[in-house]
Amino acid sequence: MFQTLTPQAPDKILQLIGMFNADPRTEKVDLGVGVYKNAQGVTPVMRAVRAAEKRIWDNETTKTYTQMPGEPAFHAAMAELVLGKGYPAERLAALQTVGGTGAVRMAFEIARMANPGTTVWVCDPTWPNHLTILDFMKLPRKSYRYFDAQARAVDFAAMIADLQAVQKGDLVLLHGCCHNPTGANLTLDQWGTVADLLAAKGAVPMIDLAYQGFGDGLEQDAAGTRLLATRLPEVLIASSCSKNFGIYRERTGCLLVLGDAANRAVTQNTLGFLNRQTYSFAPDHGARVVTTILTDPELRRMWEDELEEVRSGMLGLRSQLAEELRRLTNSDRFDFLAHHRGMFSRLGATPEQVEKMRTDSGIYMVGDSRMNIAGLNTDSVPVLARAIVAAGV
């Protein structure tokens, strides 16, 4: 049987990790892996997470199963974080998932169950896993333009022009904030235009909210998502706890489904069914940590303060890099780096220039020139800036 298997395409990020690890140079810089790192190159355990884990350790009395769709307290805490206080609980069904990726997959699954003929519209560019998951599921997909590579900004006119072709019942995938891989986000006015278009077309938005708190702040980063949730009858939201809580390996995510209150019970039942058919119960530890933090005022305050340190640190690195490149090039063409948000920006380098930076300067980034800003520190920013100029970007 297994003789029929064929090798799968290698993961470019994993290949990059191997090359970086094998490079003996001390000044090498890893900008490929999409994981937050502090100035020491470490992904730290947040203070609030450590405190919550100790509390759980001291008080936990059992390791028995929880509930198939996850704990209601986790659902409620995540719904309030994403949708704000006073969210429409009567319209909401929720599912605890294996990471944000699990939430994305389950969103596609329930959309397919509800409408087997749905087409998924995906922005170009997007997180590569969106495309590979859809293709593996054999879900039809179409792309809409999103990013102007020359201006290094959202091409909103092109986006709206392409989305004019969506059909009733189609799923439109949107990045809630900190767009991966470009770092270029929609304005709130643009979110409003998207809401009007989707309402007129009868299409359903699916929002991938993987970086809430990494861009302009917890509330600001959720503003577009909340706008769609209040103006459209049906919304899917895939939320990740990996980044903003720093619990990558705990694989904690949540799928929120907003629909008609009359159908809520059936939707909730279907979400539980999907978990049962996939992995039964999602891991509990990360979700319990998140719930403990979000429902305890002291721990929440500690977490929000630390998350703000992370966010402001990345903004500082962005500004430092933009200023250093302005100094070296006597040009403002890299100022977009200071305006983008989140962990990623697409530099605008060719694959050949990316290769030159790796070969000559030990700078490791994905071939499309997506770079992880959190892979930098104040000492490596000048190293990267010199490499960018030397490569002729």
Other residues' Cβ atoms within 10 Å of the Cβ of residue 340: 23
Going 388 to 146 to 117 to 99, the CA torsion angle's sign is: positive
Q: Is 179 left (phi over 0), alpha (psi -120 to 50) or beta?
A: beta
Give the Å distances, CA to CA, from 215 to 198, 212, 286, 308, 353: 25, 7, 23, 10, 28
43 SS3 class: coil
Tokens of 309: 């340190």
CA–CA dist 254, 287 (Å, integer): 9
Give counts: helices (H), strands (E), the chain.
15, 13
From the list 30, 79, 127, 282, the catalytic residue is 127
Q: Are 222 and 176 in contact (CB under 8 A)?
A: yes
155 SS3 class: coil
CA–CA dist 220, 229 (Å, integer): 15
Is 210 among the catalytic positions? Answer: yes
Give every CB contact of residue 266 below 8 A, 6+ residues apart in sequence: none
Residue with tokens 């947040």: 46
CA–CA dist 319, 322 (Å, integer): 5
Is 243 among the catalytic positions? Answer: yes
Q: Letter for the amino acid at 19?
A: M
CA–CA dist 219, 274 (Å, integer): 30
Q: Are 243 and 214 in contact (CB under 8 A)?
A: yes
Is 208 among the catalytic positions? Answer: yes
Tokens of 236: 């899917």
Tokens of 328: 């070296």
120-124 and 141-145 as β-strands: parallel, antiparallel, unpaired? Answer: parallel
Ranges of beta strands (E only) in 7-78 are 29-30
From the list 243, 303, 338, 385, the catalytic residue is 243
CA–CA dist 179, 177 (Å, integer): 6
Residue with tokens 């959190």: 374
From the list 52, 210, 222, 387, the catalytic residue is 210
Residue 205's DSSP bridge partners are: 172
Q: Which of 342, 348, 285 is nearest to 310 (CA)?
A: 342
Is 135 among the catalytic positions? Answer: no
Please list the active-site residues: 127, 208, 210, 243
